[in-house]
Structure formats: C-alpha cells, structure tokens
A and B are shown apart, each in its own frame.
Chain A
Amino acid sequence: MKLRAAAILAVLLALPGCSGGLFGGGDDTSEIVLGMPVPLSGDSAAIGPYMRNGAQLAIDELNAKGGVLGRKLKLAAEDDACDPQTATAAATKLVSQKVVASVGGYCSGATLPTLPVFDRAKIPVVIPAANSDQLFEKKLPYVFLINSTGTQQAGTAVEWATKQSLSRVVVVHDNTSYSKNIADLTSAALKERSAGSVVITKGEAEHGPAVTAVRAKNPDLVYFTGYYADGGLFIRQLRQAGYTGKIMVADGSVDKQLITIAGQDKAQGVYATMTGLPEFTPGAEQWISKYKEKFGSEPGPYSTQSYDAVRLVADALTRAASTDGDKLRKALEETKAFPMFSGPLSFTPQHTLAVSGFVILEVKGSRFELVK
C-alpha cells in the first residue's frame, strides 16, 4: 500500500515537472516557471484565454531579450474554472511544479482559497484581475494585487452616481466573494441613497424573482456586480420587465458576451466600472497589433494586466537577482513607479495599488466605449 502511494506520488511529481526535469531543481539554466490559475472552463471561460495570452506575450518578449537572470521564462496556465475547489487543486499542482511565482487569479472566490497554498510555499502571487477586499484582508505576506481593489471600484461607481445625481441605487450581486464585496462597499458608501440590495443565483437562467424585487424598490440606477454570463441575462430580463432607469455593471461583466447575451438592443446604454482596457490606453495600438498577430484575436479584459503582472515579476526577479521567494517578495514590495498600462505602480503596505485606475465605460452598438 505504502509502496503504491509512493509510486503514485513519484508519477505525479514527475508528470508536471517535465520542463525542468525531476533533477532540474538546482540547475541554474533551467526555465523559470510562472504559474497562472485562470478560468479556461466554466461560466467565466471567456476571460482565461485573454489573460493567458497576455501573459504569454510578455514571456515571449522577455525570452526574446534573453530571459531573466540568464534563464528562460515559461508559463504554466492551469484551469481554475472560477471554482474554489478546482482552483485549490490547480494551485497545489503549480506549487508541486515549483513555480517561482503565480500571475493568475480572475474570480475572487476561486482565487481566495489558493492564496494560503502559495503563501505557505513562500511563492509570491501577483493577482492581475481578482480584486475583492477579502484577498488582502488576511494580510498574507506573499500576496500582491495589481488590479484596483473592491473599495476603489465601489468608490468609482458611487462618485459617478453622485455626479449623475442618482438617488435610489439598488445593487445586485451573486453572493460570490468579488461580487458581494463590491455590492456591500457600494451600499455602504451610498448611505441613504442606497435603496437596498438584491441577490441572484450564479449560473441560473431565471432571474424573475430578482427582477421583481428590484422593480419593487423603484431604483433610478441598478448596479450589477456579478459576472457577464449572469449579467447579460439579468439585464435582458430587467429590461423586458419594463425597467427604464440606468444600469451599471462592475468589471466582471465587461465582456462582449454580456452584450450578445443581453441582446444588443437591451444592452445599449449600460454603464460599467472597469480598469483600463488596451483599446483605451494611449500608445497601446502597437501592443494590440502584436497581440492580434500572435493569437489571431483581439485582446480582451485583463490581457494587459496579465501582461503587466509577468513583466512586474520579471522586473522584481532581476532586482532580487534570485528566484528565492523571500527575496522576490521583498523586491516586489520595493517596486517604485513600475510602468504599467494602468499607470505607474507602487504598492501600499497592504500590497494593493497606491493609485486606482478605474474608468467608466458605456455600451454603444456592439462594444464598450470609454465615457469621457
């Protein structure tokens, strides 16, 4: 029995490690592997490839320049299915592959349980997309967020609502970590202008009860903080039920699929809080064409952030002059004004962005456009 367990363990260890080889641990010419748990299946499956491609682009560029510390970089993307259990399994697999850092994390609910796994192994995690406050509330020393946080996103939404002098705001969330976090923070920041919150079931098709509940509160703005697959249906059913007020969605719903699912006519004029997309970033045209040439498709949400996450880790590795987890963490903490798509990056003591990069988008035709 023990023998068999040992044999299975050996096989498991040998399988993913092929690149560096079983004996590659101490070899300084082996590849530096960066792990990346992202959703490649499940209801957020559209986002994973955007992030993986963004990261791969950075890795290819760095390798073309000779890699980092004289070693080539390699990306190990794992499917987390936006599901806590799958994500934890993916993280454990990456840890056993001896990744030097993780540059993944889209769904906060799925990313959250992976953090202790990486943290225990002293593997720094640079999260490009997931941004629930829960991710840094535990103050895990190896966890860094390069997307703006839930607080910053809620702040952007509230500021916009104030400017539009909207006074009855209903927030709708799906009870996942990311979604509930933004919803709660938004309600709290709105104070008496909040008309309450409504919960939908993630993955459900019928949102009739939630729509009825929203309509009963008679809002002038509905802020949906879930993901695009549910958001599309929810917006569709809300409009069908005769709601004519404003609708806004959070960054988890910013994807072309939201517009397709809702139907283009029903999605018109839907606003969104979002961190910078490449198409709105000045000087990113060249980057976009490089991406298109390589992957045959347009970059999407969080392509740039994933690209930046890899570059940030590479920069920190160079400054640390080592792949040691502690030294890398220290180098990440000391990052000063690192140039990213969303602006120069420095970390707060909580390992979050010192300056938020949220903007307001609006659906026009079949795409999201920047609101000036």
Chain B
Amino acid sequence: MSQLIWNGLFTGSFYALVALGYSMVYGIIRLLNFAHGDVYMLGAFIGYYCLTLLSGVTSGLPALLIVLVVAMLATGLAGVGIERLAYRPLRQAPRLAVLITAVGVSFSLEYGVRLIAGADPKVYPVRLDGQPVELLGARLTAEQLVLVAVAFVLMGALHTLVMRTRAGRAMRAIAADPKAAHLSGIEVGQVIARVFFLGSALAGAAGVMAGAYYGRIEFLMGFVIGLKAFTAAVIGGIGNLPGAMLGGLALGLLESFGTGLTGGEWRDVFAFGCLIVFLVARPQGILGEKAVVRM
C-alpha cells in the first residue's frame, strides 16, 4: 500500500514537472505544445553528452547538479528558439495551424536527435541508485527522495516566480487578457518567450533526472510522457499551475493504484481513461475554472 503511494508520488513528480510547461504555455497562448515531451527528451540527451564530457573531471551527484543546470539553460533556450521559429510567426493564424506546427516540431526534435545520436538506446554515465531503505513499509532510495525534493523545489520556485514577481504578474496578465496586457504596456512577445524558457527548462530538468535515475534514454522517450503530462495538465485544470502539479501527482497515484489493482497492461488504459472521464465530466479539471468564452 505505502509502496503504491510512493511509486505514484515518484512518477507523479516527473509528470508534474513536464505538465507545468504544458499548462503554462496553454495558459498564456492557448496552445497545446505537443513538442513539450520532446524537450524533455532533449534535456535527457543534453545531460547525457554533458556528463560524458565531464566524466574525466568530476562524477557523481555534484556533476549531475552542474549538468542539471546546464541542461535546464540549454533546453530553456531551445524552447525560446522553438517559439521564435515555429510559433511566433503563426501568432495570428488559426489555432489548428499552430497545433499542427507543434506536432511538426515534435517530429523534428525526435528525428533530429535520432540523426545525431542514433536510434540505439543510450546508457547514462552517472546513475542514481543507492541502497534502498525501508520506510513505513515502502522501499525507497535516498536518490529517489533527492529527485522528488528537487522536483518540488523547482515547482515551488516557479510558483513563487509566477505569483510574487513582476515578471510573473505580466505572465498572469497576458493569460487573463492578452490585448489588455498589451495595451497596458506589457511586452507580450518577450513574456511569452520567458514562459517558453521556464516551461522548457523544467521539462529539461525532468529529462536529466529521468535519465540519471532510469539510466536508459532514447529519442522517442518524450512521446508517452508528453501525452501523460498533457493528461496531468487536463486533470489538474489546464492553464492552472497548482493544478498541473496536483494533476501530475494525481495521475501518478491513479496509475500506481490502477496497475496495483488490475495489472501492468492496464496502466495506459487507466491514465488515458482518466483523461476521457475528466474531459467529459469536468473539462476544467480539479482546480480550473469554467472556461470563459474569449473574443
């Protein structure tokens, strides 16, 4: 029982990190950024190459923390680049066009990485897996705790940034009403770029953490987690940041208990079944508000 809860919280915190970027981007420009899962993959690969470079100099946890920061910066910039190249020119285009572009960006990232890194799965040079300890009936490792803690720190930092700073206020203003925000002197383009930077950096962090924990990365690893993060964002209330975190954890727990009850082959059925249930019964999600029709 406590093992199921811990499994759920652990995977859930990955979902939550990726879901945040999904939710932020949707909140601000109403775009389902399907390339977001692939930014996670990109983070894992950048981390992999950085760690390989660093392997002679330093290793273990300190190396991993440096690489985490480097990968976050790199994926953040990649996110800004994607927005600048693929989405900004389509700001006035119908939403469907942007959505299809997002799918295109997703494929470009996947197969671009495949061209450079190859299709073979890669094994991370630094691996986080200490001896498991028994805690309240669940087996967990100190490294797992560190990863979950890092995830929560990142989420907390993001929340503070959005709720307590000037930049965050500008983001919320655009989410509420882009035109009025523009009229009141907010640099809409710049703020959107910033949102992409933050969201992509979080996904990149999740990618490095997943790479270091599981040890195996490959170019398609972002696909399913992208869909799961989307599901988590919808469950929590898309566009709502605490909702995305809550949704990620809720999805992790749902999956864990679902598979605990019915067997592993039902996990994805369970996850995406929840997506459908929420879309039908409560499309605004747990914390979302009823959608206001926008002009």
Real binding pair: yes
Complex Cα distance, B123 from A261, in Å, reads 6
What would be 7 A-B contacts, judged by CB atoms less than 8 Å apart?
A42-B119, A199-B264, A208-B256, A209-B264, A212-B3, A213-B259, A232-B216
Query: Which residues of chain A are within 8 angstroms of B121 by Cβ–Cβ distance?
Result: 43, 229, 257, 261
- What number of A residues sit within 8 Å (CB to CB) of B? 31
Asked if B267 is at the interface (CB within 8 A of a chain A CB), the reply is yes
Query: Which residues of chain A are within 8 angstroms of B127 by Cβ–Cβ distance?
Result: 263
CB pair B129–A201 under 8 Å, yes or no, is: no
Q: Using a CB-CB cutoff of 8 Å, which residues 231-287 of chain B contact chain A?
A: 255-256, 259-260, 263-265, 267-268
Asked if B220 is at the interface (CB within 8 A of a chain A CB), the reply is yes
CB pair B264–A205 under 8 Å, yes or no, is: no
Complex Cα distance, B216 from A46, in Å, reads 14
Asked if A140 is at the interface (CB within 8 A of a chain B CB), the reply is no
Complex Cα distance, B257 from A208, in Å, reads 11
Q: Using a CB-CB cutoff of 8 Å, which residues 190-243 of chain A contact chain B?
A: 198-201, 203-206, 208-210, 212-213, 229, 232-233, 236, 240-242
Stretch at the interface among B4-12, B30-38, B53-61, B62-70: B4-12
Complex Cα distance, B238 from A232, in Å, reads 36
Asked if B218 is at the interface (CB within 8 A of a chain A CB), the reply is yes
Nearest to B120 among chain A residues (CB) is A45
Query: Which residues of chain B are within 8 angstroms of A209 by Cβ–Cβ distance?
Result: 4, 7, 255-256, 259-260, 264, 267
Complex Cα distance, B87 from A135, in Å, reads 47
Give the top 8 A-B pairs by smallest Cβ distance, nearest first.
Answer: A41-B119, A209-B259, A199-B265, A205-B214, A208-B7, A199-B264, A45-B119, A210-B264
Query: Which residues of chain B are within 8 angstroms of A175 by Cβ–Cβ distance?
Result: 265
SS class of chain B's interface: helix, strand, loop or mixed? Answer: helix
Q: A241 with B268: in contact, given A43-B218, A261-B123 (CB under 8 Å)? A: no
Complex Cα distance, B216 from A203, in Å, reads 10
CB pair A212–B214 under 8 Å, yes or no, is: no
In the complex, given contacts A208-B256, A212-B3, what are 17 additional A-B residue pairs having Cβ atoms less than 8 angstroms apart? A40-B119, A42-B220, A43-B121, A201-B267, A204-B224, A205-B214, A206-B214, A209-B4, A209-B264, A213-B259, A236-B129, A257-B120, A257-B123, A260-B123, A261-B121, A261-B215, A263-B127
Checking A41, A199, A205 against B221 with a beta-carbon cut-off of 8 angstroms, the contacting residue is A205
Asked if B101 is at the interface (CB within 8 A of a chain A CB), the reply is no
Query: Which residues of chain B are within 8 angstroms of A232 by Cβ–Cβ distance?
Result: 216
Asked if B132 is at the interface (CB within 8 A of a chain A CB), the reply is yes
Complex Cα distance, B133 from A317, in Å, reads 63
Query: Which residues of chain B are within 8 angstroms of A198 by Cβ–Cβ distance?
Result: 263-264
Write the B110-150 contact mask toward A (1 if CB under 8 angstroms, else 0).
Answer: 00001000111101000101001000000101000000000
Query: Which residues of chain A are within 8 angstroms of B265 by Cβ–Cβ distance?
Result: 175, 199, 201
CB pair B10–A208 under 8 Å, yes or no, is: yes
A15 → chain B, closest Cβ, in Å? 21
Query: Which residues of chain A are within 8 angstroms of B255 by Cβ–Cβ distance?
Result: 209
Write the B202-243 contact mask toward A (1 if CB under 8 angstroms, else 0).
Answer: 000000001000111010110010000000000000000000
Query: Which residues of chain A are within 8 angstroms of B216 by Cβ–Cβ distance?
Result: 205, 229, 232-233, 261
Query: Which residues of chain B are within 8 angstroms of A201 by Cβ–Cβ distance?
Result: 264-265, 267-268
A29 → chain B, closest Cβ, in Å? 37
CB pair B120–A240 under 8 Å, yes or no, is: no
CB pair A205–B210 under 8 Å, yes or no, is: yes
B135 → chain A, closest Cβ, in Å? 13
